[in-house]
Amino acid sequence: MSGALAEAPPAAATDPAETQSCFDVIELLFFAYRDFVSDPDRILTDYGFGRAHHRVLHFVNRQPGLTIAELLDILRITKQSLNRVLKELVEKGFVEQRTGVQDRRQRLLFPTVKGRDLALALSRMQGERIRRAIDRCSEDDRQAALRFLFAMIDENDRDHVARLVYGAGERKGQ
């Protein structure tokens, strides 16, 4: 063996049932994600867009006035990748950039009407899939799912994500 696999530390000895349980979760996450993004993927293809466009449009729509730096922090992608995707969204009229009011070096991002419509259409599809799943669960199951997903986030990023998810409100500069 060579490369990163050869250098990886040996896996901790675990109970086979525990190992299988982890594989079950891993595989269910793969399949759930595959289906969660499949509906939007079909629509995005009509626009010549991909998942990166979807993520940018989603967060710009959820947080109008977001700065490039804030979006980079949320998505954790390179500036070059973001610039390529953002350029397409701007050129095709889905996102507009405005100069910051307090800091004219900032570029604030806002969805256009067309961008908001697409973002909401994609969210509705995904929301419907989530609603169908939640309808099959008790409220305790729903809360457990939220706790589980939150626990999957890196511990040092949880406060940041909590503010994004639960604290999204009006942004300055609108």
The half-sphere exposure of 84 on its side-chain side, counting CA atoms within 13 A, is 7
User: How many C-beta neighbours within 10 Å does residue 65 have?
Assistant: 18
pLDDT of 7 reads 55
Instruction: Express each pLDDT in 12-27 by its tens digit.
Output: 546 777 787 899 999 9
Instruction: Express each pLDDT in 55-85 by its tens digit.
Output: 999 999 999 999 999 999 999 999 999 999 9
pTM over 0.85: no
